Structure 1
Amino acid sequence: MAFLGILCLILVTTLLAGHFTRKIGVPAVIGQLLVGIVLGPALLGWIQPSSFVHDFAEIGVILLMFMAGLESDIGLLRRYLRPGIWVALVGVVLPLSLVTLVSWWFDFSLLLAIFMGVIFTATSVSISVEVLRELKLLDSKEGTTILAAAVVDDVLSVVILSVFVSLSGENTGANSPSLLVGFIEQILYFVGIYFVVKWIAPFLMRLSERFLLGAAVTIMSLVICLSMAYLADLIGLSAVVGSFFAGIAVGQTPYKAEIDHNVEPIGYAVFIPVFFVSIGLEMDFKGMSDALWFIIVLTIVAILTKLVGGGLGARFAGFDLNSSYTVGAGMVSRGEMALIIAQIGYQAKLIVPEYYSATIIVIVLTTLAAPFLLKHAAARQLAQISE
Structure 2
Amino acid sequence: MAFLGTLCLILVLTTLAGNFANRLGVPAVIGELLIGIIIGPALLNWVQLNSLVSLFADIGVVILMFLGGLESNLQLLMKYLKPAIVVATSGVIFPIVMMGLASWWWGFTPLEALFIGVIFSATSVSISVAVLKEYHALSTREGATILGAAVADDIMGVILLSLMISLLASQGIQAAGSQPALGLVLLEQVAFFGGTYIVVKWIAPYLMHLSERLVMASSVTIMSMVICLSMAWLADIVGLSGAIGAFFAGIAVAHTPYRAVLADHVEPLGNAIFIPVFFVSVGLNMTLDHLADNLGIIVGLTVLACLAKLLGCGLGARLSGFDLKSSTVIGTGMIARGEMGLITAQIGHQAGLLGGADYSAMILVIVLATIIAPLVLKQALKAMPQTAAE
TM-score under structure 2 length normalisation:
0.96
SS of 2:287 mapped into structure 1? coil
**Residue 367 of structure 1: which of 366, 370, 388 is its match?**
370
**Residue 199 of structure 2: which of 192, 196, 199 is its match?**
196
Identical residues among aligned pairs (%):
56
Q: Which residue of 2 aligns with 1:377?
A: 380
**Residue 247 of structure 1: which of 242, 246, 250 is its match?**
250
C-alpha separation in 1, matches of 2:66 and 2:166: 31
Alignment of 1:275-354 (within 5 A): 275-354=278-357
**Residue 231 of structure 1: which of 234, 258, 261 is its match?**
234
In terms of mean alpha carbon deviation, does 265-274 or 166-175 score higher? 166-175
Distance 1:203 1:329, change over 3 A: same
**Two-structure CA RMSD over aligned residues (Å):** 1.6
Deviation for aligned residue 1:83: 1.2
Deviation for aligned residue 1:350: 3.3
Kept in 2, the 8 Å contact 1:53–1:274? The answer is yes
Q: Which residue of 2 aligns with 1:179?
A: 182
Amino acid at match of 2:240: L
Structure 1, residues 114-143: CA drift from partner, whole Å, max 9, x if none? 111111011011111111111111111111
Amino acid at match of 2:348: G
C-alpha separation in 2, matches of 1:237 and 1:384: 32
Amino acid at match of 2:19: H
Deviation for aligned residue 1:296: 1.1
Amino acid at match of 1:278: S
SS of 1:382 mapped into structure 2? coil
In terms of mean alpha carbon deviation, does 198-207 or 68-77 score higher? 198-207
Alignment of 1:1-387 (within 5 A): 1-169=1-169, 170-172=172-174, 178-382=181-385
C-alpha separation in 2, matches of 1:348 and 1:190: 32
Amino acid at match of 1:24: L
Deviation for aligned residue 1:314: 0.6
Kept in 2, the 8 Å contact 1:166–1:179? The answer is no
What runs of 5+ residues in structure 1 fail to find an aligned partner?
Answer: none
C-alpha separation in 2, matches of 1:67 and 1:266: 11
SS of 1:214 mapped into structure 2? coil
SS of 1:318 mapped into structure 2? coil
C-alpha separation in 2, matches of 1:184 and 1:352: 34
Deviation for aligned residue 1:383: 8.5
Kept in 2, the 8 Å contact 1:166–1:176? The answer is no
C-alpha separation in 2, matches of 1:45 and 1:217: 41
Kept in 2, the 8 Å contact 1:39–1:47? The answer is yes
Deviation for aligned residue 1:90: 0.5
C-alpha separation in 2, matches of 1:55 and 1:96: 31
